[in-house]
Amino acid sequence: MMAQVIDSQRSGVASTHVSFICQRCCAPLKLDPSFNSLDSQTYSDLASPLIRSMSEKPPESSIPCDQFDVNKDDNVARKEIITQRTSSQDSSHEFTILGEAGNTQVEARSYACKIWGQLFDIMSGHSDVDHPLCEECTDSLLDGLDIQLKTTEDELKHYTESLAQLKEDNGGEDEATLTKELEELRLEEKSLIEELQSMEAEKEKIKEDTERQKEELQKYEDEEKRYWSEYSVYKRQLLEMEDEQRSVDNQLKYAQAQLEKLTRTNVFNATFHIWHSGHFGTINNFRLGRLPSVPVEWNEINAAWGQTVLLLHSLAKKMQYKFQRYRLVPYGNHSFLESLTDRNKELPLHGSGGFRFFWDTKFDQAMVAFLDCLQQFKEEVEKGDKGFCLPYPMINGKIEDPSTKTSFSIKIQFNSEEHWTKALKFMLTNLKWALAWVSSQFKK
Ligand SMILES: [Zn+2]
């Protein structure tokens, strides 16, 4: 590091003042007068390395012991100094100052500056500190170095103590113990490695187990899904079945109610409703008979006879009774009786044409025959049930009113319409009693 050199031209004086500045604070320096007389030994000492190995012998001074005086005041260079430190030494170190003249003063000063500059460079090269330094900066540098030194010494002390402590600590254990301990540690390491390997194997096994169980879980989940879907299907079916069952239950209830109603119902009563309308006896609302004031049509009378024949026929069938002499043939409004003695003889229970001049003996015979059948039925019932009787006694085509002991013929011939109608009404009443008795016998 080259020292900075300030050149200045003083006005009127052709002389050069060369000064150095402090490398830290840049203050101009005034060199100590001792620098003016620098002998070669001092230069050599300064130029040589500050620290050298113990074995290394301090080199011989390469500079001759001649003194050189560069006093700026006398302007005379008295000594010839040849630097011989190394063969490769810069030729600038070789210098010869001769003669005494006005310009030799300048040369001498230039030479001195060069020497000082080199000196400061050497010093800078030996340490981290650039030279030259002023007195104050040197003091502060020295203070800093002192502190650094103290810190380093403290550290050294600390390290020394630590080393001693360590030596003391390890001093108790001999090599055999350590070897044994090492052996034990190796064994432990080996067993730990084995344990680790077994753990790894176990981990692998557990991983496989986990995989398998995951698969199983997936399977179960699939199955669950399938079961749920099946469950839904069955549940829906169940609901439908329950609906159906409720419907069937309702139907059953309705049917049972109907059955009960029908059980209570008398089939003959329901089928053959015998009642009366004024002087007429009626069966299923068909009037049987005729009055001069009420001219009932043949159609109605025929229909009424048809119902009447069917009723007696049904009652006999229910009693499993067969009439003697006649067979009842229910045939709507063309019903008739068949004579059992003469198969070809039909006795019609229906009429037609003008009533007043109706003169059909067969119709009369049929009505008498029907009354005979009813009488037979009565006698048949009386065989089993002594208490049974009909309100109007019947005999030979006549029916008697027990209250007045008057008999009324069932024939039209030689009879009034009123009597005929009354006789028919009594006959229907008897039939109604017979019906009631049969119904009571077959209730269940
Ligand atoms: Zn300074």
pLDDT digits (tens, 9 = 90+) for 168-218: 877 666 788 889 999 999 999 999 999 999 999 999 999 999 999 999 999
Report the separation in Å between the CA atom of 27 and the middle of ligand 1, taken as the mean of its atom positions: 6
Q: What is the pLDDT of residue 428?
A: 96
User: Please, where are the H alpha helices in 265-360?
Assistant: 267-271, 298-318
**Percent of the chain surpassing pLDDT 90:** 54
Residue 432 burial (CB count, 10 A): 22
429 closest CA partner among 283, 268, 318? 283
Q: What is the pLDDT of residue 47?
A: 66
Q: What is the pLDDT of residue 15?
A: 42
More confident residue, 306 or 95: 306
Q: What is the pLDDT of residue 58?
A: 44
CA distances from 242 to 227, 230, 233, 236 (A): 21, 18, 14, 10
Report the separation in Å between the CA atom of 117 and the middle of ligand 1, taken as the mean of its atom positions: 17
Orientation of helix 361-384 relative to helix 298-318, angle to 10°: 30
CA distances from 138 to 5, 26, 27, 89, 170 (A): 20, 13, 12, 31, 47
Q: Across 268-361, where does the E strand assignment appear?
A: 274-277, 280-283, 286-288, 326-329, 336-339, 346-348
Q: What is the pLDDT of residue 184?
A: 96
Mean pLDDT of 274-295: 93
Q: What is the pLDDT of residue 28?
A: 86
70 closest CA partner among 27, 47, 40, 41? 40
Report the separation in Å between the CA atom of 2 and the middle of ligand 1, taken as the mean of its atom positions: 16
Find all residues with CB under 8 Å of 54, minimum gap 6, and list them.
none
- pLDDT higher than 70, residue 107: yes
- pLDDT higher than 60, residue 231: yes
Q: What is the mean pLDDT of the chain?
A: 82
Q: From CA 333, how far away is CA 48, in angstroms rounded?
A: 171
Q: Token digits for 117?
A: 């500059």
Strand partners, 347: 337
* Bridge-based pairing state of the strands 28-29 and 398-401: unpaired
Say whether the peptide bond before residue 402 is cis (omega within 30 degrees of 0). Answer: no
* Length, in residues, of the chain: 444
Report the separation in Å between the CA atom of 146 and the middle of ligand 1, taken as the mean of its atom positions: 18
- pLDDT higher than 60, residue 430: yes
- CATH tag, 268-441: 1.10.418.40
More confident residue, 334 or 75: 334
More confident residue, 354 or 117: 117
Q: What is the pLDDT of residue 358?
A: 62
Contact 79, 68 (CB under 8 A): yes
Report the separation in Å between the CA atom of 32 and the middle of ligand 1, taken as the mean of its atom positions: 15
Report the separation in Å between the CA atom of 20 and the middle of ligand 1, taken as the mean of its atom positions: 11
